[in-house]
Amino acid sequence: GAGVSQSPRYKVAKRGQDVALRCDPISGHVSLFWYQQALGQGPEFLTYFQNEAQLDKSGLPSDRFFAERPEGSVSTLKIQRTQQEDSAVYLCASSHETQYFGPGTRLLVL
Amino acid sequence: AQSVTQLDSQVPVFEEAPVELRCNYSSSVSVYLFWYVQYPNQGLQLLLKYLSGSTLVKGINGFEAEFNKSQTSFHLRKPSVHISDTAEYFCAVSEGSARQLTFGSGTQLTVLP
User: What confidence tens digit (pLDDT) does each residue in A10-37 have?
Assistant: 999 999 999 999 999 999 999 999 999 9
Widest distance between CA atoms in chain A: 38
Burial class (CB in 10 A: 0-12, 13-18, 19+), A2: exposed
Q: Please state the separation of Cα A62 from the chain's center in Å.
A: 14
pLDDT band at B2 (very low <50, low <70, confident <90, very high): confident
Partner A, chain B 14-43, Cβ-Cβ below 8 Å: 34, 36, 41-43
Top pLDDT among A96 and B36 is at B36
Q: How far apart are CA A106 and CA A87, in angstroms?
A: 8
pLDDT cut 90: percent of chain A above it: 93
Nearest CA in chain B to A47: B100
Residues A62-89 have a mean pLDDT of 96
Nearest CA in chain A to B103: A42
What value, to the nearest 5°, has the Cα angle with vertex B93 and ends A20 and A98? 65
Minimum distance, in Å, between the CA of residue A41 and any CA atom of chain B:
5
Residues A69-92 have a mean pLDDT of 96
Lowest mean pLDDT among A36-40, A44-48, B27-31, B91-95: B27-31
Q: Which of A42, A97, A102 sits opposite B97 (nearest CB)?
A: A97
B52 touches chain A (CB under 8 A): no
A66 touches chain B (CB under 8 A): no
Q: Which of B46, B49, B103 sits opposite A42 (nearest CB)?
A: B103
Give the burial string for B18-52 (b: 16+ CB within 10 Å, else e).
ebebbbbbebeeebbbbbbbbeeeebbbbbbbbbe
Q: Is A84 helix (H, G, I), strand (E, B) or coil?
A: helix
Residues B75-80 have a mean pLDDT of 97
Top pLDDT among B70 and B78 is at B78
Task: Please say if the pLDDT value at position B35 is more than 90.
Answer: yes
Nearest CA in chain B to A55: B99
